[in-house]
Amino acid sequence: MKPIDKIARAISQFEVQAPPRLDERVREHVREAFANSIPAPAAHVRTRRWRLLVSSRIAQLAAAVIMVTLLLGLHLWNLLGAEVYAVEQTVEALRKIETAHAFCTDWQGRKSEIWIQPNPATGANDFICVTETERDYAVISTPHVSYYYYPGRNVVRIVRGQLITSDLDLARTIESLTQEGNRQGGSVEIGRKVTDRHGEVITIHCAGTASEFEAWIDPRTKLLLGIECVRSSNPGQFIKSWDEIRYDEPVPERLLHFQCPDDAEIQPEGWGNVDDPNCGIDVTGLSDEQACREIISRLFDAINAANLGQMRQLVPITNQWNDEQLVAAVRESVKKLWDDQMPGVPAYEIGVPSQDKACPLGVLVPCTLTDHNGRQFKVTLIVRFRQTDGRRTCVIVSTWGKTTPLSR
């Protein structure tokens, strides 16, 4: 007998005997199912019926192409039949996931683990936990409270509100990536290739001016297998690749309902107090641009006058430092700009605020600073608008990205 025939025979003879517990379980639940059988189809069954109506393969592909074209803004010439159908299913599947457990690598090659639990109604991340053993920390973030936990030092920093710990809105991943590609005037291509890690995959390649991503989809399950950021100049893009993603694993209880260890040192808030009602200025009646000009000019004036109280009022993050630390932080920032020759910000221009999806903390305001020697630098600040006791207020969250010298 040929070896191949022997394998075929072995498969055909592969037998498993049902254990009695399965019989009992099936009997009980089949009888229940008959007793409770639903007279009218549920919503998801109606959806499936719609799919059955679109029963021919050509019609399915046409429907998928229309859906993907509308949803992802792709051009028809980018689309291949079977792959498009898979992408459409991926978009749908990702909206139904309950949890994701991802293994990631950052730009320095450090490994981290991320747990995400999306909100089924909004698709936003309800719970995110990032753990990085190499740097000994975990960040646990929920819409109401977040924690930085350093197990080695047994320190916990509690923060009000949600932290930016993931730049991926998992339930809308495909749309986000392709929109990024489309927005930056780049290209989005769907294809197929064989990878070492995952074997044959469907690929979505999004290349824009600021970033380039490739997402891999399992052609069998239609789920997202991973994402690689090939290049990025987006500040805050700390993950280079999502190497493996597992779906619908239960989030460990100790993370989902994190409690500070009894003997842990609890540190004051950091980022989270961007919503502190005692900070910020009232900008009721001002446009976004006017409000940004107002708060940023006040900040530079405060730096020039070494007015620490005003800085704390405008930039909540500075409240976590004592006076000495705050002065050192300002000196350090200014030193980076002016080689420590002259303190302060002698001249500045405040640009027009803009939204950037990569920065959900607030609007980005580019500023041009000029030193005493005429050298210019570009700094981008994050300004966050809030509603405080019925008033419109804003604060400065932090800088965004690197300070870059401008050629003269």
Compare residues 8 and 230 and give the one whose CB is closer to another protein.
Answer: 8
Specify burial of residue 340 (Cβ count, 10 A radius: 0-12, 13-18, 19+).
Answer: exposed
Q: Which of residues 144-203 bind another protein (CB under 8 A)?
A: 199-200
Our finding on whether 29 is near another protein (CB under 8 A) is yes
Which position has the token pair 């500070």?
Answer: 260
Q: Which of 26, 230, 266, 306 binds another protein (CB under 8 A)?
A: 26
How many amino acids of this chain bind another protein (CB under 8 A)? 47
Q: Which is nearer to another protein, 36 or 108 (CB)?
A: 36
If one asks whether residue 263 binds another protein (CB under 8 A), the answer comes out as no
Q: Does 9 bind another protein (CB under 8 A)?
A: yes
Please report, for residues 14, 30, 34, the alpha-carbon distance to residue 20 in angstroms, rounded to integers and kept in the order given. 20, 15, 21
Please count the other Cβ atoms lying within 10 Å of the Cβ belonging to residue 237: 17
The number of residues making up the chain comes to: 408
Which one among 73, 151, 219, 235 touches another protein, defined by CB under 8 A? 219
Do the Cβ atoms of 362 and 397 come closer than 8 Å? yes
User: CB of residue 98 vs another protein: minimum separation in angstroms?
Assistant: 9
Nearer to another protein, 98 or 349 (CB): 98
Q: Which of 347, 362, 363, 351 is nearest to 300 (CA)?
A: 347
* Region near another protein per CB under 8 A, out of 5-13, 63-71, 294-302, 326-334: 5-13
The contact mask relative to another protein for 84-113 (x = CB under 8 A, - = no) is ---------x--------------------
Calculated CA dihedral for residues 361, 362, 365, 371, nearest 10 degrees: -40
Give the list of residues 6+ apart from residue 380 with CB closer than 8 angstroms, or none. Answer: 235, 364, 365, 366, 367, 399, 400, 401
- Whole-number minimum distance, CB 246 to another protein, in Å? 4
In the complex with another protein, which residue's Cβ is closer, 14 or 77?
14
Cα 318 from Cα 36, distance rounded (Å): 61
Distance CA 109, CA 321 (A): 31
> How wide is the angle at C-alpha 94 spanned by C-alphas 91 and 98, nearest 5°?
160
Does position 221 interact with another protein (CB under 8 A)? The reply is yes
In the list 15, 196, 253, 324, the residue contacting another protein (rule: CB under 8 A) is 15
Strand 265-267 relative to strand 239-247, pairing: unpaired
Establish if 30 lies at the interface with another protein (CB under 8 A). yes
Which one, 50 or 107, has the nearer CB to another protein? 50
**Phi, psi of 156, rounded to the nearest 5 degrees:** -125, 130
Choice between 92 and 340, CB closer to another protein:
92
The residue within the footprint of another protein, chosen from 92, 134, 248, 340 (CB under 8 A), is: 248
* Residue 30 or 328 with smaller CB distance to another protein: 30
Q: Is 51 in the site for another protein (CB under 8 A)?
A: no
Which of these ranges, 8-16, 264-272, 320-328, 330-338, lies near another protein under the rule CB under 8 A? 8-16
Residues near 133 by beta carbon (within 8 Å), at least 6 away in sequence: 111
Kindly list the residues in this chain that would bind another protein in the complex (CB under 8 A).
Answer: 1, 3-4, 6-19, 21-23, 25-27, 29-34, 36-38, 45, 57, 82, 93, 199-200, 219-223, 246-249
